[in-house]
Amino acid sequence: MTHTQHDYAAAIRKQGFRMTPQREMILDAVCEAGGHTTVDEIYSRLHARAPAVNRSTVYRTLEFLQEMHLVVAAEIGGQCVYEIAHAQPHHHLHCLVCGANIEISQEALVAAFAAIEREHGFAVATDHLVLTGACRACRETPA
């Protein structure tokens, strides 16, 4: 596996499942992206190594890896993207003008999540939120 910071096989076994070759290859394909990656990109990386693996296996495995909290998904720019889950929750600011993605920490949203719970009785349970808008550079550039 190319992702050496975490023993993903042990994490999967701890939850009562086994690390299959497909799961390992898909984790590798997500990790190789170094950040957000689409199903098409994952499938292309995977297909180069294992042509017999089909798209439905990729989708099912990504869903499983999300349930195991090893991979997170988000919609960015109208497209679902995946990345290896970080040790701590994190979120993104996505610029609709230039496409920039700025990573922000969980701490940046703690107050907002607390206000939502206080005002609506709703406990936010997300560890990968994407907020869209315009970045500073795009807002400061004259039209």
Q: Residue 20 falls within a domain, yes or no?
A: yes
Domain co-membership, 98 together with 133: yes
Domain membership of residue 2 (yes or no) is no
Residue 1: predicted pLDDT:
41
pLDDT value for 125: 84
In this structure, are 60 and 126 located in the same domain?
no
- 52 with 33, same domain: the answer is yes
Q: How far apart are CA 132 and CA 88, in angstroms?
A: 21
Residue at 1 is within a domain? no
pLDDT digits (tens, 9 = 90+) for 110-123: 999 999 999 999 99
The predicted pLDDT at position 5 comes to 57
77 and 123 share one domain: no
Domain that holds residue 103: 90-140
Residues of the chain with pLDDT under 50: 1-2
Angle at which helices 21-32 and 55-67 cross, to 10°: 80
